[in-house]
Amino acid sequence: MQISNWVNYWLFLPLKLMVVVGGQAPKAIRSVECYDFKEERWHQVAELPSRRCRAGVVYMSGLIFAVGGFNGSLRVRTVDSYDPVKNQWTSVANMQDRRSTLGAAVLNGLLYAVGGFDGSTGLSSVEAYNMKTNEWFHVTPMNTRRSSVGVGVVGGMLYAVGGYDGASRQCLSTVECYNCNSDVWTYVAEMSTRRSGAGVGVLNNLLYAVGGHDGPLVRKSVEVYDPAINTWTQIADMNMCRRNAGVCAVNGLLYVIGGDDGSCNLATVEYYNPTTDKWTVVSSCMSTGRSYAGVTVIDKPL
């Protein structure tokens, strides 16, 4: 690399950390670790106040939120927030519903908790959290019950991808889209395959559905949705079969973190480069194999 490029890289590329919250290893854990892209290393940070896997995890207004999940005995409605500057977790208002394997996303300044499983049934219900009032409120439910659902926001719309419909006992290929201005859910094009526990992420205004499973079959296949043409397209397979993995986008790459291959929890991370249509395994693994962890990307605290 030329010196000028090198200086640019260190001075201007925003420093990001990938934070992996809780998960199943094989029981619900409190551990939180983060990957420093510059150092190419993992660090442990403050543990969750209580064990949590299958939670929804987002980054909003400088804080990480871990929403609901399973604590080893119960699906919970509790929510913890993490301040990266103080390296400290605090509890905020509970959701109205218990939910694990939910989807969580930020849209128009609100934190949405979508679907999931309450311990007896898959949920179609959706609620939103207003940080200013510290309150959760229900919005229009989805058309389908979806546990193990993946969500992502593209172009101001929230997409709920696949999952498991307790009623028909089928993994789902259907996808629906939430417009927060009209408070309406609408079906969009289905994926080419059924995926429950897919990792869902957004890169360059495209929605990715990574791995997941259909019954006992764990997938390594990946497909990508372009809202502009309402079409799913298959892309290169991952190196490993994964379901219940975390997904996040950083610096033009899509990262997939952990998950399980149907028998083992995985400590490996791989990333997709859309320019080359290739998956590459990151050389540094997490400290422990974990599935059902929440993953988000934050700005590195100064």
Minimum CB separation from ligand NAG for residue 80, in Å? 12
Instruction: Kindly list the distances between the CA atom of residue 26 and the CA atoms of 51, 103, 265, 266, in Å, as whole numbers in the listed order.
Output: 12, 21, 7, 11
Q: For residue 5, count CB atoms less than 10 angstroms from its CB and return exposed for 0-12, middle for 13-18, buried for 19 or more.
A: exposed
Instruction: Check residue 50 for interaction with ligand NAG (CB under 6 A).
Output: yes
Q: Which is nearer to ligand NAG, 28 or 266 (CB)?
A: 28
Instruction: Check residue 24 for interaction with ligand NAG (CB under 6 A).
Output: no
| C-alpha torsion 21→109→85→54, nearest 10 | -10
Q: Which is nearer to ligand NAG, 51 or 99 (CB)?
A: 51
Q: Which is nearer to ligand NAG, 77 or 242 (CB)?
A: 77
Per CB under 6 A, the list member of 26, 62, 72, 156 interacting with ligand NAG is 72
Instruction: Check residue 96 for interaction with ligand NAG (CB under 6 A).
Output: no
Per CB under 6 A, the list member of 7, 13, 74, 228 interacting with ligand NAG is 74
Stretch that binds ligand NAG, among 5-13, 68-76, 162-170, 215-223 (CB under 6 A): 68-76
Under 8 Å between Cβ of 178 and 188? no
CA atoms within 13 A on the CB side of 268: 17
291, amino acid identity: S
Instruction: Check residue 51 for interaction with ligand NAG (CB under 6 A).
Output: yes
Minimum CB separation from ligand NAG for residue 53, in Å? 11
Instruction: Check residue 71 for interaction with ligand NAG (CB under 6 A).
Output: yes
Count of positions on this chain that bind ligand NAG (CB under 6 A): 7
- Paired residues of 35 in beta bridges: 18, 42
Minimum CB separation from ligand NAG for residue 76, in Å? 5
Per CB under 6 A, the list member of 32, 66, 67, 76 interacting with ligand NAG is 76
Rounded Cα distance between 28 and 7, Å, is 42
Minimum CB separation from ligand NAG for residue 11, in Å? 45
Minimum CB separation from ligand NAG for residue 87, in Å? 22
Q: Which is nearer to ligand NAG, 109 or 119 (CB)?
A: 119
159, amino acid identity: Y
Under 8 Å between Cβ of 182 and 158? no
- Give yes or no for a cis peptide into 216 (omega within 30° of 0): no
Residue 185 CB coordination number (10 Å):
20
Per CB under 6 A, the list member of 2, 5, 73, 182 interacting with ligand NAG is 73
Q: What is the CA radius of gyration of the chain?
A: 18
165, amino acid identity: D
Binding footprint of ligand NAG on the chain (CB under 6 A): 50-51, 71-74, 76
